Amino acid sequence: MFNLILFGPPGSGKGTQSENIIAANGLQHLSTGNLLRNEITNQTPLGLKAKTFMDAGQLVPDEVVIGMVDNFMNAHPRANGFLFDGFPRTTAQCIALDALLQQKGTEINVVLALEVGEQELVKRLLGRGATSGRSDDTNETVIRARIKEYHDKTTAVATYYAQFNKVVNVKGEGTVESIYANLKKEIDARI
């Protein structure tokens, strides 16, 4: 198995770049943001609980997200590997993910961290908010709250994996194609 974390702040291009990476490498895409939005659309109890946090730009509690990831991985027992997008987002989620992977006899191979300046992040997310209907993209205060959560809680994920020398920084500004070419180089060197 090959397991990759695509890491970066809100709007850094994780979802955009995931599409090419999963297509090229046959990985299973695990986006906790997408899973949570599906739960909201289906009006499940989990979705109703998560919506309050997401609309405020705050992280959903660890136990909710970890349970959802466990279910998703168990539902894909024959996956060649997973691309984790938007997960893990806290040190507790890193520890839980390592344990889940260890149970399956595998591990995280690399963390590719997209680097994008804050002004560009806000511009991208407000741009998408104008058309996508994603409620957490339409309000700049909520976008800035998401970026703050990233600095306060999620940068710890890079620190956690850096202790195992698994983090590679990749410039996340430029064209989608040029960024993908750099990500591909790092993946091809390891897969």
Interface contacts to ligand AP5, rule CB under 6 A: 8, 10-16, 32-33, 36, 53-54, 57-60, 65, 86-87, 89, 93, 124-125, 127-128, 136, 146, 176, 179
Active site residue 128: yes
152-159: long-range pairs with CB below 8 Å, 24+? 153/59, 153/89, 153/90, 154/9, 154/59, 154/89, 154/90, 156/90, 156/91, 156/94, 157/5, 157/7, 157/88, 157/89, 157/90, 157/91, 157/93, 157/94, 157/111, 158/7, 158/111, 158/113
Q: Which is nearer to ligand AP5, 119 or 165 (CB)?
A: 119
Q: Which is nearer to ligand AP5, 109 or 135 (CB)?
A: 135
- How crowded is residue 11: how many other Cβ atoms within 10 Å of its Cβ? 26
Q: Closest approach of Cβ 18 to ligand AP5, in Å? A: 7
Q: Which is nearer to ligand AP5, 44 or 78 (CB)?
A: 44
Nearest residue to ligand AP5 on Cβ basis = 33
Among residues 37, 51, 124, 146, the one annotated as catalytic is: 146
Active site residue 78: no
Among residues 51, 89, 124, 166, the one annotated as catalytic is: 89
Look up residue 92 and give its two tokens: 């507790």
Q: Which is nearer to ligand AP5, 1 or 122 (CB)?
A: 122
Look up residue 50 and give its two tokens: 């998560």
Which sequence positions are flagged as catalytic? 14, 89, 128, 134, 146
